[in-house]
Amino acid sequence: MGTVWLAWGTAVDLRTRCLLWPVERTLFQTMIAAAGLDMIRRQLLGLHSEPRYFAQRRAR
Q: Which residues of 9-43 are buried (b: 16+ CB within 10 A; e: fewer)?
A: eeeeeeeebebebeeeeeebeebbeebeeebeebe
Predicted local distance difference test score (pLDDT) of residue 60: 64
5: nearest Cα among 54, 44, 56: 54
39: nearest Cα among 7, 11, 13: 7
Distance CA 16, CA 23 (A): 21
pLDDT single digits (tens) 7-47? 998 899 899 999 988 899 999 999 999 999 999 999 999 99
